Structure 1
Amino acid sequence: MSRRIITPSSSPPAPPTPSTFSPHHPSRRRPRNNPVLPTPSELLALSIYPILLVFGALFAVLNPTVRNAPYDFASQAHDQSSALSPSYFARKNNLFNVLFVKRGWGWISLAFVVFIFTHPAVATTKQRARAGIRWGMVTLWWVFVTQWFFGPAIIDRGFRWTGGKCEEKISLVNAAMDGMATPHGGRVVGQEVRVKDVFSAAACKAAGGKWSGGHDISGHVFLLVLGSVFLLQEVGWVVSRWAKWHEREERTVVMPDGAVKGATVEVDKREEEYREERRTTVGEALGRGGQFAGAVVVVSGWMLLMTAIYFHTWFEKLTGLLVAMAGLYVTYILPRWVPALRGIVGLPGI
């Protein structure tokens, strides 16, 4: 009786069948995002801002009401009288500007605090502490650009460096600077100080003059972009990871040994146990804090569009956008490829 010997087949293995194929199979994984650049979703969100500015600039040129309205290049605004102003939103005393934009960083900060202390996905002391550090970094950039930078703010310094000076009512201001009585009954000491040497827009306005001649970075554009993107980062990544909306798009980070990995490698495993409970609707995922932050972002976007249409030149709005993006890059993108910085500030949602 002869035995049949079965030898292993040398034919190649069969491809995976639909029943065994997984969307997370290595052959189907998407290439990792570059850690020094925003992710595709971030780029999509950021693209909204230049689109709003370009649309506003084109609307101002093509709309005859706006194009023909009197415009003062010294104040970078249209005539403020109700009869000559092209729109309610072109007047600086409109309620949105007075109650929201003028107090913009307060609204941004309030929305941030409400979110991190009410949303269940930001539940640990470490998460809140790191979020607070990121808020501090962005707030410091806001202070440096608009309020104080070891003296005059960056906006005021930039205006002076590009040839700007305080003009109008020069004789009145110079007389006040020489020690004569001011319109308010006070006196200004220092005969060597002249109106052209006033270093900030606030001091110029207080002295009775106006900024003129230099490049005036749009503070409105800077504030509205900086604040709204800050909220989008802090709320967006937390909510999207908690609700598993973007499992196929992951931020990448550079590890101390130089390896590039997905940011979730640094997630606390105990946190992942909590994340087993999911929310499916947008309202549930955002929570009250996220909804409040979303409302602040929407109003910021609307006022950015109004600024794009009625205030400043296109180049001043562009520099406002770029200066805001510089601070946001340092806070949210730089830590992804600088492990030492990431160890201090962390990443939203991680």
Structure 2
Amino acid sequence: MTDNDNTTNSSLRPRQTKMVGNNKTTNGSPPRSTTSSSSSSAASPLAMRTSPFLPTPLETLALAAYPALLAFGTLFSVLSPQTRGAPYDAGAQSHNPATAPSYFARKDNVFNVLFVKRGWAWISISFLAFVLTHPALNNQISGNIRKVRAATRWVLVTAWWALVTQWCFGPPLIDRGFRFTGGRCEVAAEAIEEGIADKADAFTAAACRASGGRWSGGHDVSGHVFLLVLGSYFLVQEVGWVACRAGRLFGPAREERCVVMGDGAVKGAGVEADKSGAATDESELGVGGKFALVVVALCWWMLLMTAIYFHTWFEKFTGLLVAAMAIYPVYILPRWVPALRAFIGMPGI
């Protein structure tokens, strides 16, 4: 029995050694180093890259907030008996202050008068404050280049705002669209009788109001919706991506943008940030960044109030659509056009 036991034990030893030696094969599990490599690969930025031709998931979420606000406001205006029953002057795009269903339904409310009516000034001032105070835009290596590119993006977006609402080689695009769809200026009879207006038709909304008349008959794109969407999304892009790359929002690895390089290769946008020497460790938004976020919040609130109390659903939709027309060329197109990207850059890069 002793000999048998020894024989048995000795015969088992090689088997045990073989099993231990082949453990990685027998169990079907990869070696520890391979597992670690796979995990790090799965967590790498490669797994989070998206198409350079489309908005990232974060951008899509931010963009979806605008039609969601407009849809909610429009639905609320239809379902609320107080709002639905309040008299509304479609020509003047206003509720009568005496019968307005809410303080925010009055065009003379302080937020409309002091904020929305001067909306682009607030947006521009908050953007300037952010650019001048945030350390990511003021580092010694790439600060001046990034400031120039940020200013270029502001010029492009501001130019679109001016063309649509202020002047486009004559009347702005909103007024041209109103006239093109059959609209005209109806001069108030009282104004003519008092001699403060003539009978000539006016070609802009401002001139029509100055002559004592009112727009009538055409499609009036919502200028409030256009301004609030374009301005707030501009700030969201400019402040948001800098904060994301600094690790302030969603962590430093949440870089989802991709760019097409000069040789056609698709790489993460962080590659260009590294080349430019852009700092990625400034974690504070700063006074300018916080100011910009307050302006964004006010824009969203007033957009909701506009959706509830002013304009038809189609006028609000076209205001959103016209604002969106500037977003893709300024913030998505440069990702797959290297020459354009070299000129206007990308926020956070």
- TM bin, normalised by shorter chain, reads 0.7 to 0.9
Q: State the percentage of identical aligned residues.
A: 58
Partner Cα separation in structure 2 for residue 87 and residue 157 of structure 1: 32
Deviation at 1:16, TM superposition (A): 5.1
Residue in 1 that maps onto 2:12: none
Is the CA contact (8 Å cut-off) linking 1:332 and 1:347 kept in structure 2?
yes
- Provide the secondary structure at the position in 2 that maps to 1:30: helix
Residue in 1 that maps onto 2:128: 113
The 3 A distance-change label for structure 1 pair 337 and 62 is same
Is the CA contact (8 Å cut-off) linking 1:164 and 1:215 kept in structure 2?
yes
Does 225-234 or 235-244 show the bigger shift?
Answer: 235-244
Deviation at 1:246, TM superposition (A): 4.8
- Structure with greater proportional helix content: 2
Is the CA contact (8 Å cut-off) linking 1:121 and 1:239 kept in structure 2?
no
The 3 A distance-change label for structure 1 pair 141 and 205 is same
- Provide the secondary structure at the position in 1 that maps to 2:135: coil
The equivalences for 1:121-136 within 5 A come to 121-123=136-138, 124-136=143-155
Residue in 2 that maps onto 1:233: 237
Does 29-38 or 134-143 show the bigger shift?
Answer: 29-38
Residues 1:255 and 2:270 aligned together: no
Partner Cα separation in structure 1 for residue 263 and residue 204 of structure 2: 47
Is the CA contact (8 Å cut-off) linking 2:196 and 2:211 kept in structure 1?
no
Letter aligned with residue 67 of structure 1: R
Residue in 2 that maps onto 1:4: none
Does 68-77 or 290-299 show the bigger shift?
Answer: 68-77
The 3 A distance-change label for structure 1 pair 84 and 248 is closer
Residues 1:183 and 2:189 aligned together: no
Deviation at 1:21, TM superposition (A): 3.9
Residue in 1 that maps onto 2:294: 295
The 3 A distance-change label for structure 1 pair 70 and 241 is same
Partner Cα separation in structure 2 for residue 32 and residue 15 of structure 1: 27
- Provide the secondary structure at the position in 2 that maps to 1:211: strand
Is the CA contact (8 Å cut-off) linking 2:187 and 2:208 kept in structure 1?
no
Partner Cα separation in structure 1 for residue 276 and residue 318 of structure 2: 43
Residue in 1 that maps onto 2:247: 243
Partner Cα separation in structure 1 for residue 175 and residue 276 of structure 2: 48
Deviation at 1:269, TM superposition (A): 4.5
Is the CA contact (8 Å cut-off) linking 2:136 and 2:282 kept in structure 1?
no
TM value normalised by structure 2: 0.85
- Provide the secondary structure at the position in 2 that maps to 1:121: helix
Residues 1:55 and 2:72 aligned together: yes
- Give the aligned CA root-mean-square deviation in angstroms: 2.6
Partner Cα separation in structure 2 for residue 326 and residue 268 of structure 1: 31
Partner Cα separation in structure 2 for residue 203 and residue 212 of structure 1: 14
Residue in 1 that maps onto 2:51: 34
Note the residue ranges of structure 2 that are not aligned, 5 or more in a row: 1-21
Letter aligned with residue 239 of structure 2: V
Residues 1:329 and 2:323 aligned together: no
Deviation at 1:24, TM superposition (A): 3.7
Residues 1:95 and 2:94 aligned together: no
Partner Cα separation in structure 2 for residue 238 and residue 22 of structure 1: 30
Residue in 1 that maps onto 2:32: 17
The 3 A distance-change label for structure 1 pair 46 and 62 is same
The 3 A distance-change label for structure 1 pair 230 and 54 is same
Residue in 2 that maps onto 1:318: 317
Partner Cα separation in structure 2 for residue 296 and residue 15 of structure 1: 53
Does 326-335 or 161-170 show the bigger shift?
Answer: 161-170
Letter aligned with residue 104 of structure 2: F
Deviation at 1:27, TM superposition (A): 8.8
- Provide the secondary structure at the position in 1 that maps to 2:270: helix
Letter aligned with residue 184 of structure 2: K
Partner Cα separation in structure 2 for residue 164 and residue 31 of structure 1: 49
Quick check: which has more Rg, 1 or 2?
2
Residue in 2 that maps onto 1:3: none
Deviation at 1:76, TM superposition (A): 2.2
Letter aligned with residue 41 of structure 2: H
Deviation at 1:170, TM superposition (A): 5.6
- Provide the secondary structure at the position in 2 that maps to 1:199: coil
Is the CA contact (8 Å cut-off) linking 2:48 and 2:256 kept in structure 1?
no
- Provide the secondary structure at the position in 2 that maps to 1:167: strand
Write the deviation string for residues 13-57 of structure 1: whole angstroms up to 9, x where unpaired: 952538724644169742631111110001111111111101100
Deviation at 1:260, TM superposition (A): 1.5
Residues 1:68 and 2:92 aligned together: no
Write the deviation string for residues 176-229 of structure 1: whole angstroms up to 9, x where unpaired: xxxxx8328xxx7xxxx832xx21100111111100111100000000011100
Write the deviation string for residues 33-92 of structure 1: whole angstroms up to 9, x where unpaired: 11111100011111111111011001101111100000111122222x2x2111111111
Deviation at 1:291, TM superposition (A): 0.6
Note the residue ranges of structure 1 that are not aligned, 5 or more in a row: 1-8, 176-180, 280-284
- Provide the secondary structure at the position in 2 that maps to 1:38: coil
